[in-house]
Structure 1
Amino acid sequence: MALPPLSPEQRRSALDKAALASDSEAMRKVRVPALLESLPDIGKVRAQKILTEAEISESRRVRGLGTQQRERPLERFAPHR
């Protein structure tokens, strides 16, 4: 079965969606400490403190985080009201 012809706009949209899916899949494979350390002003010591407070193992990858483990570090970086 042949694919239907796509307009340039449809092609660009499909390529953008594919790139986004690829990036998010790669991001899920990153270890949590490496992700934290990639943030500005977060070094190894601060990353370790955040992991300890959130009860996250150093060997944990982003895709392996539970709901509460994802929310705890995010609360730390949320803007204060």
Structure 2
Amino acid sequence: MQELQEPFDVLVNGVVYSVFPEEDNIYTIFKAGTEFGKIEKDTENLWIKLNPETEMPLFDNDPEVNAIGQAITNYVPEEDSDDDEDFE
């Protein structure tokens, strides 16, 4: 069983998006504290937004969704360490 990733923030065009990983390349996105919606990775460079009611893909090629997706793809989680006393 794959361990769920912790939520994280990405910065896209000066806007902070909070990313909450779900299952199978699906992410719930919050934009400035308001729910933006769920997005899903379709191909390596294409991300799609899901319909809020049905969670079916909306194939509308949204540049904002693709930019958020690219930021998710580029996100590197911080290494987990048992001792968080390394901050100097």
TM, length-normalised to structure 2: 0.28
Larger radius of gyration: 1
In terms of fraction of residues, the more helix-rich structure is 1
In terms of fraction of residues, the more strand-rich structure is 2
**Relative contact order (alpha carbons < 8 A, sep ≥ 6): 1 or 2 greater?**
1
